[in-house]
Structure formats: C-alpha cells, structure tokens
Amino acid sequence: MSKQSKTYHIYLLVLLMIMTELLFWTVTLISYNVLSADKEFRLENEGAIVLFAFIPLLIGVFLYYAIRGNTSLNRLSEASLRNSLTKGASNWRLLLKYLLLRCAVGLIIISLCNPQYGKKQVEGKAKGIEIMIALDVSNSMLARDLSEKRSRLNIAKLAIERLISKLHGDKIGIVVFAGSAYTQLPITSDYNAAKLFLSGVSTGMMSSQGTAVGAAIDECLNAFDLNNTTNKAILIISDGENHEEGAIDIAKYAVEEGIVIHTIGMGTTQGTPIELYRGNKKTGVKKDKEGNTVITKLNESFLQELSQIGGGTYTRAKKSNVGLALLVDQLKEMDKTVLSKEQFLEHEDHFQTYLALGLIFALLYLLIPINSNRNVELNLFSE
C-alpha cells in the first residue's frame, strides 16, 4: 500500500482493521487468562464488557467517511485538476487515526469494567446510636381493632421489622413485657439476628399478665452501657392498658441518663373485645373470671405523657400504619458515634491506569490529521 494515494483503498483498510481487531482480542484474552489465574484479580463491573459490541459501529463509521472522501475526490472530473488541488488520501494516516481511537475506546471500556488486583487493608468504622425496643406482649395485644387480618402484636412486629431494615450502623435490642419484662435480644448490630428473635415473639411467652412499662424501661436501661457516650433511645410499643405505677418515675430517671423515649400507641380508644383464635379459626372472645367479655382500649394519654417526659415522639397506629416515618426522622437526627471498628481487605482499583491511557490515545487522535489537505480530512469528533 503506497504511503499516499489519490483515494482510500477501502478493501485493504477493511482487511487491516480486521487484523487489528484479531490482534487486540488475542492480546486481551491472553492477558485476561493470565490475570485470572490470580485469585485476587477480578472485574468489578463485568457488565460493561457489552460495550465492546459497539466496536463494529466504529469501524463502519470510519469506512463510511473513507468512502465519502473517495466520492468527494472523484467529483473532480479532471485527473490533472485533482492533482493540483489535493495531495490525495493518506491510507496510513487513516489507519493510524483508527488505531488511536480504537485503543482509546477499548481502554476506556476496560476502565469501566474496573479491573481489580491486589488487596489493601482498610479500616471500617460503623457509626450509629443504640436503640432498645420494648414490645408489649400482653393478651390485650391480640385485639384486632386496627386490622381484621392482623392483631396489634402482629402489626407491631411488622413495624419493627421495617424499622430494622431502615437502620444503618445502629445497634438494636428487644425487651418483651407484660406483667413483667425480660430481654429477648441483647443489644446488637446483627440485624438478621434481631429479625429472627422478633419472629419468635408471642403473647404466650409471658406467664404474668399486665402492662409493666416501668419494668420494661428498667430492663432497657440494664441493656445499655450507661458509661459510654453513645446516644441512646428507647422505643415503647404498647396499648398502655392497665400499666403499673412507677413507670413515669423510671422514665424520668432514664431521661437523666440522657436517653430519649419514644412511644407508639397500638389500638383504638373506642375499645374492642380480644378475639381468640386457634390457627386461623376464631374460637371466641376473651372473658374475665365472672364470664364478662374483656374490652381493651388504647391508653393514649399515658403513652403521650411518657414520650413528652422522654423528649421523644408519640405516634398512634392507624390500621396497619404505625407512622414510622416520623420516628425514623427523629432517630436520624440524633448524633452518631463510632460503635465499632473493623479491619478488612479490599480489592485495589486499577481503572485509573486504563482511563488515563485511553484519554491519551483520544488526545493523539485529535491532534493527528489524516493528511496535509484539509479538504479530505477525516475527524469523527468535528464532523
């Protein structure tokens, strides 16, 4: 192929472009197989490889402009006129331009795949607050005044599960209470364990009945390490019915320790019987010793007073919606502290090298003209 001819040699250009592709993919696949033998090598974004499917389009665009350049030159009817007006088409420069742009595109695509090899040690810090959830499991939580399909307790458990899913870096624990209280889950950052323990909560786990909110707050206080400076919150989920005395005093003590108390009221103030079920079949309603139907009501004023003393929020559940948005916003506003530090190995990114090389090839593509005659010059970025 001559260095400079009057028109582009299309068939020869096609052949050389195909040979270039074969060479590129041979080198790429050999390099990939060699690197893959090292377990520390990987492509973080393997899906970006599909962008190589656009390379044939790049070849087509170059050939289109070459053919159009030939057409423009052939419009000059007199060969002598063509010789005087233009030095013709440089096949070598066209091929060089193609190689530069092809390498630029290929390297940029590889950078998008983000090759990673080698590992570095990284310290991760988990920031958050500590949250203890006190969940009422007294028999009154079996009432279905919020939903015909779910009891107060089941709605509360679903709400806690959604709350856990919204937490990031915080620690959580669960206290269950009725006539007494005990820690179902010690404070932890293991959210999967929290959901597992939550699934096992039922009214049958407490032998004594009542609503020992004070005992629940005290149990939450015992779960906290009051000597650390981490911000802490207690979330009480209850209908507040038949609570024992002393809960307000214990709540005041918790506030003195810097703990915020939030409450969620489960139930309605109108009152409803406690329906009893065996499986999914209703067997009747709960009655007292005298045979009277037990009516359970939400004690809203008590729960509101608790949250007011505790500097937190009170939310009343409506149907299956317990109003988590406000609570989550309040928890997010609390200052986060470092709860744990972990050392772990992380793959090192090397996309920067390929991206830099790709940009250099792209710059060279822009700087090198196809030939000295601007009338037949090909530049994909300026057409």
Q: Quick count: other Cβ atoms within 10 Å of Cβ 7?
A: 18
pLDDT in tens, 105-150: 989 999 999 888 776 666 556 678 899 999 999 988 998 888 888 8
**pTM score, whole prediction:** 0.58
Instruction: With a cut of 90, say whether residue 322 has pLDDT above it.
Output: no
Query: In CATH, what number is assigned to the domain containing residue 143?
Result: 3.40.50.410
C-alpha 53/C-alpha 55 separation (Å) is: 6
| 147 within 8 A of 155, measured Cβ to Cβ | yes
229 and 87 inside one domain: no
182 and 262 inside one domain: yes
pLDDT in tens, 171-215: 999 999 998 999 999 999 899 999 999 999 998 888 788 788 999
335 and 298 inside one domain: yes
C-alpha 216/C-alpha 63 separation (Å) is: 78
- 86 DSSP assignment: -
Q: Quick count: other Cβ atoms within 10 Å of Cβ 244?
A: 13
Instruction: Classify residue 279 by burial, with Cβ atoms within 10 Å: 0-12, 13-18, 19+.
Output: exposed
2 found inside a domain: no
227 and 269 inside one domain: yes
Angle at 252 between CA 325 and CA 232, to 5 degrees: 45
38 and 143 inside one domain: no
Residue whose structure tokens are 């002598």: 80
Instruction: With a cut of 80, say whether residue 77 has pLDDT above it.
Output: no
286 and 316 inside one domain: yes
Residue of higher predicted confidence among 174 and 383: 174
| 365 within 8 A of 371, measured Cβ to Cβ | no
4 found inside a domain: no
Q: What is the per-residue pLDDT for 381? A: 42
289 found inside a domain: yes
Q: What is the per-residue pLDDT for 24? A: 83
- 208 DSSP assignment: S
296 and 359 inside one domain: no
Please provide the DSSP assignment of 209-273 as one string.
Answer: -SB-HHHHHHHHHHHS-TTS---EEEEEEE--TTBPTTHHHHHHHHHHTTEEEEEEE-S-SS-EE
Structural domain including 72 reads 10-114+350-376
Query: Which string of b and e fits 337-373 if b means at least 16 CB within 10 Å?
Result: eebeeeeeeebeebbeebbebbeebbebbeeeebbee
User: What percent of the chain has a predicted confidence (pLDDT) above 90?
Assistant: 32
382 found inside a domain: no
Q: What is the mean pLDDT of residues 54-81?
A: 72
* Number of domains the chain is built from: 2
Per-residue CA distances from 264 to 28, 40, 217, 328 (Å): 61, 50, 14, 13
| 134 within 8 A of 219, measured Cβ to Cβ | yes
169 and 130 inside one domain: yes
